[in-house]
Amino acid sequence: MRLTVDIDPESGFCYGVIRAISRAEDYLASHQHLRSLGAIVHNSLELDRLRARGLEIIGLEDMERLPAGEVVLIRAHGEPPQTYQTARRLGLELIDCTCPAVLQLQGKVRETFARMEAIGGQVIIFGKRGHAEVNGLVGQTGGQAKVVGGVEDIEGIDFDRPIALFSQTTKDPEEYRLLAEQIRSRARSSVDVYDTICRRVSQRYNSLKEFAVSHSVVLFVSGRDSSNGKVLYDLCHQANPRCHLVEQISDIVPQWFREGDTVGICGATSTPKWQLEEAAARTASMQTIC
């Protein structure tokens, strides 16, 4: 069987994840361990690699048990103000790796909430409930922002009050546009819609659809816990029904391929380049199996 295998040049870690992992590796180069508040990346294989170097994943409740002076890494997703208050109270040192785009968004949400509160308005965040980035954004409003996961959630919005609408940085731009349209059509007061989806994520939607349709088979490499991975995999699968989700290279089986297939390898913003390369090598080796 002959296969042509291509790796999507746009796939792989986003800048925020690259920056967080790089800072973790730099610290671990001269220290035995480092604690990360939450998973630094939603990719089990990459986490295993970092754990082997001394990274430990902890939760908010674990911070209370750490001795003063302990170092804790804040991942790219960001954290609400309460986390920083807790760290100061406990005397913990932070390596803050909040993505600059997320940090800017947090500031905008905080400023807008103060303005909306003064006029009886509300802040609505389009995102995944419980996601670390969304928790950080809601925290900028003292827990007052309403989170909607899609059009099906807008019934709980008070359309008589002014609305400021934001999006989690990794959401689908088209889904956000449709949500904004629905809210505007029902609003009986002002609606301000902020363009807060990460530029790289936004641009990837069109390029990924083009990549998916230009190959007969697509392997989307991603951790199953990645919010961005789920969204982008669904996008690929809609563009090409012969799209398969791959978490580990052992998931790849010869039955997916036919003689003469062109295979595209792509992934989420939480997928490392080395994993894409392993998937490509595994697929190429199947030419001698089938």
N- to C-terminal Cα separation, the chain:
6
Cβ proximity of 66 and 37 under 8 Å: no
Q: Which among 7, 16, 45 is positioned nearest to 271, based on CA atoms?
A: 45
One DSSP character per residue, 258-273 reads: -TT-EEEEEE-TT--H
What type of residue sits at position 33? H
Going by the DSSP 8-state scheme, the letter that residue 145 receives in this structure is P
Coil, strand or helix at 222: coil
- Give the contacts of 109 (CB within 8 A, at least 6 positions apart): 123, 125, 137, 140, 141, 145, 166
Q: Is 10 a catalytic residue?
A: no
From the list 46, 79, 133, 247, the catalytic residue is 133
* CB proximity list for 104: less than 8 A, separation 6 or greater: none
Local structure of 65: helix, strand or coil: coil
Catalytic residues: 133
